[in-house]
Structure 1
Amino acid sequence: MNAQSVYKIGKYDDRILNKFLLGIDQVAMASELPYEVVSLIASHVENDSRLTGALVCKQWTEPFLNAHWYSFGIFQIIADRICDTSNLENIYLNNAHRVCELRLSDRSIIDMEYRPKLRQNYSGIKRLKYYEPNRRRSFTEIIDWSIWNFLSHLEIRFHCQSDIVLEDVFTSLSGSPHLIHLTLLHQYLLESSDIRNTVSWLDIELLHLKAPQLEYLNIDFAHIKISNYEVNNIRHVLPARTVTKAIFDNDKIDTSWVFYFALKYPNLHHLEFKNNGTIYGTREAYYEKTYEKDIRLLSTLDQFFPCLKNISLDPLNYNSWPFSIFYDTLRHFGVNVERAKIRVIHWDRAWTRSLHSCVEFSPKSLRVLWADFGHESVNPAYKGQIPSILPLYPCLVELHFMVVGGIEIDVMLDKCPSLRLLDIHFSSVRISEKPNHNPHPLQRLNLHNLRTATPIFKYLSFRCKQLLFMKLEHVEFEISESTKNREIFIEMPYTQLDTLILYSIGTYRGFVKHFVIKQEDNIDVSQLDLTNQQQPIRSSWYHICKGETKHFAWELGKREVEYAQRFFQDVTNFDSDENKIMGYSNISYSSSLKKDWKSDLKYGYFSLRVKSVKGYHLDKEELLEKSYSLPIMYLPSVQ
């Protein structure tokens, strides 16, 4: 086991590493693992297991203790013990040298006599997360940054409603010469309609003067408008070439700010304009006659983020500035973005222009794309045609796609010939009249909160023979899709899945609670047999039951299966009440107890036939405590 393999396992499921930790052979294996590997294991297991890991063997003690004490939060309840130097067995003092990240969120600690002791005991920390409460004095008056001169990461969350003077904040940072990561966030109250805290371009200039080594910057303060006079001055700013990742609030972003950022951060790899959820009393108007003027201003730049590889733009908090200007400028300068999160807002008056701009900026270089195109009803001319306007994405391997409307899945596959993962939300999925049947390398398919038809899956099975993972979550089929005996039948005869995840499958009649998984019996899944030779079929029947904290899948025995089969064979006519079509708002997701499994037969059953499936999950969802109108949302523990 090498360091890379441990990282991959721990990244996706630390439960695997916890089991590994408990079952490892202390003599034969534990002491032989390299320090690097043990450190990675320790960093990924649950914190409660780290002290156990420190006892496995001598070679494990230091890396597991280092991981356990790496990030430490100080609260009033333990402050006395932390600063008690008279106790030689004080575990806090004895392990203070292991603490790299300190979290301070209790203002009583910061205000009291503990401050000098904390600075003395944790003078070597490299990361500080500080919560600024509603207080009269700013942290710049309380914290002596010269004590923490090894600080490389600083995160401050402001919760006060008074104005925050960034000039004072940035000036105080001169005592941290090694600072490379800075995060300043303000928690706004929902009932507040005004933004109190702002940042100007001169503030940012001061920041880089006081912290010249910054590589990462995240500030969600509102941007003060840059005047036309100041734009001329901005042309002469000194670039901050060390910054490679920047995250800003999008509320007041406009062309002048994008102009400034392009000059200030020429080596930026990641740029994000995020929505902080601020509520506004008014929304400034954007006049279309200034669109060409804004485009011309950006075109006067010598370059426009030439190193940019990752962008995330969320224009949802009523910024009237058209983000299509940003996309068009990327295309004008030929920037090769590889990962992008884009959104076209529903109320954008220039929806059509925004739609075309955000799909055409880097089609040849994009590898990962999250695209939210809103509601197609904004422009009826695009009803069901959005995939057709997509350009060819030759290198795209991962696509997350959301549009409230119809999409043709075969067209999306045609537009993305290298796609490995396709994730679709809130759509009506169908196939075009003349679909292409050429082989496609798709390996993972996720369908969420949408409507589709059963023939689509047979088409995908034939075209995407490399499909290994399929997840259907809150997928609805028309009543006409079910057979006369209430079966929703999906046939995927060429598909050999590693993983199948199903939950909340149904029609307007309701969610089905019975699932049947059919696959060929005694097949060697390592050999892809695509012949038409008939193989014996093995069927497994499951009922989704109600437990105390979650739903779980119970496999029916032979007698229960025979009863269910007889029931569905006999039920060919529905009475008027059962055949009534109900909207989602009238359907409730409720399950019966295991002993009452027969009562759920009336909802029909979902039957899936594949060539083979190694593992499938119907019972791994953990219910949220709140009750929602349909579709009921719950979190699967299987990802």
Structure 2
Amino acid sequence: MLASDLPYDILTNIAEYLSCDDSRECSYSCKAWLTPFRKYGWKSVFINSKSYFEHICSQSSSKTDFSLKANRYFVRSLDIGYHIKVNNEQLHTLQQQFQNIKHFTVTNGVFDSSSFGNTTDWRSWRYLETLEMTAPAMKSIVQFNNVFESLSHLESLSNLSLNGYHNGDVVCTWEDIDRIHEYLPKLRKLELNMDFSPMNINALAKIKESTKPAINITQINFHITRTTALWLFYFTCKYPNIEYFSWGDGFKSDEQYENWELIMPMFFSLDTMFPRLVDIFLNASGSNARSSYSNFWKLINRFKAPLKNVCYSTNWELDTIAEPENTLTECLQACSPTMVTLYYGNNTRPQSVNKAPIEFTMCPRLVDLCLEFFGSRLKLDNILDNCPVLKKLVLKCKLLFLSREATKNSAVPHGLESIVLTRIKTTTTVFSYLSLRCKDLNSMRLKFIKVRGLVSPTTGSLCIDMPFTHFKLLRIVHSTFSLHKHQYDQTNVDDKEHHFSYSPQLINLLTIQYTAPPENHDSPDDVSTETPSEQSVSQLWFHFYLDLSQRIPGSKSQLLTPEEVNYAQMHFESFKERNRILRGSSDQRPGNYCWHPKRSWKNDLVHGRVLLNCRGLDEYHIKGVRTKGCYSESDVSY
């Protein structure tokens, strides 16, 4: 059977899984392929060139846009991008040519005020389901009303995203939002990014009595310049069935918040508050944001909203008195019984230096946790004890350590599988504890962290002992390892930051040693019973050297050759006799960034090595050296 003889249904199924560009190419192959492939080939059109956009709207009959005009009836999604300005006549042309579209996006472009005038024909898009646009800066109430009147013709709309300029003279009131829902009864998702009008406390009673709930709405996304309890009260009354709530705050520090004590009784008079809310995203800024969101968490706690996924980002001003640890505690008190994922990020520099470590509370369902605190201290054992089903942990803080009670639960297994540590100071004991307790751990990323430990005077090794851990992926980027210059019991000083204050003696050799278990052993318990002679021991040797090719000089790694490894092994086998690490003075100075050139790797032998002992290693990325197929540093996001 020839390709041209394939049944229509099969060709249609093939076209459904192809990109629009590929489907269009197939439609030109033969006459039999034209109909099934062009239906999907012209389903979505993205206009990313200003000249091409103007060419289409000029009614040109040139060959350049003939195909688009000939197939415009198949277009269901039209996206205008790259800051293309759409005037009145151009919009009218689009409305006449593409009358069957269901999705129209011009988020990166700009309408001017005439786009909502009498010459446009919004009725021709009465079947439109999704509209994402940037409205013009509205300088008069007439322009504002024209925008809303245009929406009244889109009765099939279910998804509206309206971005507005924040320099207009007209602002949005709660009555305007009521009008949107009156025009668009099928609306399920609403996103507004514009200036909202200040609200008077006397309006609350009217809102409670007259506002008709938009019961079809399940997702709202508001970025407003005034985060007030009054607007929150309106959202509560208007959207009883929302499952997703995104609330961005651009509040300025010189403005005043209303008195929450006067408004709380109105909230308490309600029967429920967001009874179906599952996902919430809060972005708090301004000097008073803490007091506002603190009361928000109190309301969530009172009405027991079933939150599962919480993303809470704060960017307070430097003179903010509030402590981010307090708002985290309030969030946990409100959401801990039901929460599955939590991201809490705070970019505020701490007011106090010697702050108490954050105490986590019990979160029985938490699976994914990301905490970003610039100036806080965290106890790893406290997090594991209170998050028994945690699988992924991402931390960015000032200091990560173990409490004095960590040994009490060290034998209690934990199912953590992945950990990411960024810009953290810690010690080697943390990793040993992690391996002992979390035997399912298989992925670890260390970025911009500082690890301290004791170097053995007999072996020259700073040991990071993780014998129960088989890494499917290990990533170490922009991180340093250094020795403690004073003898002490690490379990008693892990939480003392002053041990990181003196100039470090960096260790620039890393040995990863892993044991491959016999094939008939699968569990970590089985592996631990084998003697070293029965296991295959593998080693990888890395040297961290000074890299001057970057804009800011830093360190990269090179994998030592077998000959270089033999030389290094001979050095450390007789390290005790030639030991100068504690007696000799360091030749490393801040002026040379504490790294030697690449060719001078032997000069770093005298300072010892980091010995990372683990059960297994599949893929790695160590400061630029990686296994084949391992994704690059820029591919990682969290």
Distance, in Å, in 2 between the alignment partners of 1:253 and 1:417 is 35
Moved more, 316-325 or 212-221: 316-325
Letter in 2 for 1:130: V
Give the corresponding residue for 2:441. Answer: 467
Q: Please list, as runs of the form range in 1=range in 2, the aligned pairs for 1:472-491 lying within 5 A after superposition.
A: 472-478=446-452, 480-481=453-454, 488-491=462-465
Give the corresponding residue for 2:401. Answer: 430
Distance, in Å, in 1 between the alignment partners of 2:540 and 2:341 is 37
Contact 1:472 1:505 in 2 (8 A): yes
Give the corresponding residue for 1:220. Answer: 193
Distance, in Å, in 2 between the alignment partners of 1:592 and 1:331 is 57
Superposed CA offset, 1:573-614 (max 9, x none): 37655466x6xxx88699966x67667778875442210122
SS at match of 2:212: coil
Letter in 1 for 2:198: K
Q: Please list, as runs of the form range in 1=range in 2, the aligned pairs for 1:321-360 lying within 5 A after superposition.
A: 322-343=292-313, 348-351=320-323, 354-360=327-333
Distance, in Å, in 2 between the alignment partners of 1:63 and 1:431 is 61
Give the corresponding residue for 1:271. Answer: 245
Q: 1:252 Cα shift? A: 0.8
Distance, in Å, in 2 between the alignment partners of 1:452 and 1:541 is 23
Q: 1:440 Cα shift? A: 0.7
Give the corresponding residue for 1:128. Answer: 104
Change in 2 beyond 3 A, CA 1:135/1:37: closer
Q: 1:51 Cα shift? A: 7.2
Q: 1:398 Cα shift? A: 0.8
SS at match of 2:464: strand
Superposed CA offset, 1:464-483 (max 9, x none): 111122111111123x5455
Q: 1:96 Cα shift? A: 3.4
Are 2:222 and 1:248 aligned?
A: yes
Give the corresponding residue for 1:383. Answer: 356
Q: So what's the TM-score if we normalise by structure 2? A: 0.78
Letter in 1 for 2:262: K
Change in 2 beyond 3 A, CA 1:133/1:497: closer
Distance, in Å, in 2 between the alignment partners of 1:476 and 1:238 is 56
| One of 524, 527, 548 as aligned partner of 1:529 | 524
Contact 2:42 2:72 in 1 (8 A): no
Contact 2:378 2:397 in 1 (8 A): no
Give the corresponding residue for 2:334. Answer: 361
Distance, in Å, in 2 between the alignment partners of 1:227 and 1:153 is 33
Give the corresponding residue for 2:581. Answer: 573
Change in 2 beyond 3 A, CA 1:299/1:618: same
**Gaps spanning 5+ residues in structure 1: where?**
1-25, 189-193, 623-633
Give the corresponding residue for 2:159. Answer: 181
SS at match of 2:430: helix
SS at match of 1:519: strand
Contact 1:250 1:319 in 2 (8 A): no
Give the corresponding residue for 2:284. Answer: 315
Q: Please list, as runs of the form range in 1=range in 2, the aligned pairs for 1:368-517 lying within 5 A after superposition.
A: 368-372=341-345, 377-378=350-351, 383-384=356-357, 386-387=358-359, 390-403=360-373, 404-435=375-406, 436-437=409-410, 438-478=412-452, 480-481=453-454, 488-507=462-481, 509=504, 514-517=509-512
Distance, in Å, in 1 between the alignment partners of 2:464 and 2:33 is 53
Superposed CA offset, 1:70-125 (max 9, x none): 24125332246645446499333345345433223478773486544433332222
SS at match of 2:232: helix
Give the corresponding residue for 1:103. Answer: 79
Contact 2:344 2:370 in 1 (8 A): yes
| One of 589, 612, 619 as aligned partner of 1:608 | 612
Letter in 2 for 1:307: R
| One of 275, 297, 301 as aligned partner of 1:306 | 275
Contact 1:504 1:511 in 2 (8 A): no
Distance, in Å, in 1 between the alignment partners of 2:23 and 2:595 is 40
SS at match of 2:163: strand
Contact 2:74 2:100 in 1 (8 A): no
Contact 1:446 1:470 in 2 (8 A): yes
Change in 2 beyond 3 A, CA 1:55/1:367: farther
Distance, in Å, in 2 between the alignment partners of 1:251 and 1:465 is 47
Q: What root-mean-square deviation, in Å, do the aligned CA atoms of Structure 1 and Structure 2 show?
A: 4.3
Q: 1:138 Cα shift? A: 4.0
Change in 2 beyond 3 A, CA 1:98/1:461: farther
Distance, in Å, in 2 between the alignment partners of 1:525 and 1:131 is 58
Letter in 2 for 1:529: P
Moved more, 221-230 or 153-162: 153-162
Q: 1:427 Cα shift? A: 3.2
Letter in 2 for 1:516: T
Change in 2 beyond 3 A, CA 1:344/1:84: closer
Contact 2:465 2:614 in 1 (8 A): yes
Identity %: 22
**Gaps spanning 5+ residues in structure 2: where?**
482-502, 627-631
Change in 2 beyond 3 A, CA 1:427/1:65: farther
Superposed CA offset, 1:255-279 (max 9, x none): 1111110000000101111246x7x
Contact 1:173 1:211 in 2 (8 A): yes
Change in 2 beyond 3 A, CA 1:553/1:108: closer
Superposed CA offset, 1:308-364 (max 9, x none): 011111211445452111111111112111111224665554547634322211211
SS at match of 1:252: coil
Q: 1:216 Cα shift? A: 1.1
Distance, in Å, in 1 between the alignment partners of 2:379 and 2:563 is 42
Moved more, 518-527 or 397-406: 518-527
Moved more, 91-100 or 104-113: 104-113
Contact 1:133 1:158 in 2 (8 A): no
Distance, in Å, in 2 between the alignment partners of 1:217 and 1:266 is 14
Letter in 1 for 2:126: N
Change in 2 beyond 3 A, CA 1:61/1:510: farther
Contact 1:38 1:60 in 2 (8 A): no
Change in 2 beyond 3 A, CA 1:394/1:115: closer
Q: 1:540 Cα shift? A: 1.6
Moved more, 465-474 or 338-347: 338-347
Give the corresponding residue for 2:203. Answer: 230
Change in 2 beyond 3 A, CA 1:105/1:232: same
SS at match of 2:425: strand
Change in 2 beyond 3 A, CA 1:355/1:419: closer
Change in 2 beyond 3 A, CA 1:100/1:235: same
